[in-house]
Structure 1
Amino acid sequence: MKAFLVALLAAVLCAQQASSLFCYTCDNEHSNWNCLKTYKCEDHEKFCTTTYSSAGVGKDMGYRITKKCSVDCPETNVNFGIASYSTKCCRTSLCNFSGANSIRISYSVILLGIVGSLFCVLRVGL
């Protein structure tokens, strides 16, 4: 009986513990301060994601933040000058705290778009 208990104790101590992933969650919030609610992810969700989008110019710039648990890691970084979209992911509990991903408006991209458009208009002769 003692041998059985020792073997059972050894099996319990060597067994891998299931660790739950916790992420901050929110949906289309204007501020990261509104994204501090924690959520226990499902067992198949292995990533915390933060999606940050912006649109507009100057004072009229609008920002949106979405945080959630995810099965996969859809990292993206798209910048169209007046609109941008970025998704970052991480794998440890509460790692998606920051709402500031590296999205910045690129004035050189805007200038390149304007020059390209002007070139096309002049080439067509309008």
Structure 2
Amino acid sequence: MKLFLLVVLGIVLCTESASSLSCFSCKDATSNIHCLGITKCSENEKYCLTTYSTSGTGSDRSQRISKKCSAFCPTIDLNIGIAGVATSCCETSLCNMSGASSVKTSSTLLALGVLASLACILRMGF
């Protein structure tokens, strides 16, 4: 099943126009599962940017994930104990499936991302 999903994702990525970048997008989501929206980037946006932030301590700790297209790639990795921010960038379509370095990707999330990508492509009529 994993191999099938990887093959489908490879086909989807290879059939996309070379000049258009698409990234997963969300703003201040509490989980990666809420970041399955897809945005087509403008011509000057060459990166998919993910920002992961945490704040609080113990049971009051919260996380926020934001993903978008970006014209530049800021490198931030700041942790001051009660708050932290990390960014990650990539340069291929839908490459920002996982969060910044602090966020792990599960097999279920990968499958949902592939399905969301297919739904978006089928809706656009490709």
* TM-score range normalised by the length of the shorter chain: 0.5 to 0.7
Match of 1:98 in 2: 98
Aligned to 1:81: 81
Superposed counterparts of 1:35-74, under 5 Å? 35-74=35-74
Deviation at 1:66, TM superposition (A): 0.3
Q: What's the offset of the Cα at 1:19?
A: 1.9
How many Å separate the matches in 2 of 1:38 and 1:18?
17
Q: How many residues align?
A: 87
Greater Rg over alpha carbons, structure? 1
Amino acid at match of 1:41: C
Q: For residue 98 of structure 1, give the secondary structure of its aligned residue in structure 2.
A: coil
The percent identity for this pair of structures is 53
Cα offsets for 1:29-65 (capped at 9, x unmatched): 1011110111100000000000000001111100000
Q: By how many angstroms is 1:102 displaced? A: 2.7
| Distance in 1 separating the partners of 2:42 and 2:50 | 17
Q: Which runs of 5+ in 1 are unaligned?
A: 1-16, 104-126
**Residue 99 (structure 1) shift:** 2.0
Instruction: Tell me which residue corresponds to 2:122.
Output: none
Structure 2 distance, partners of 1:46, 1:100, is 17
TM-score scaled by length of structure 2: 0.65
RMSD: 1.5
TM-score between the two structures when normalised by the length of structure 1: 0.65
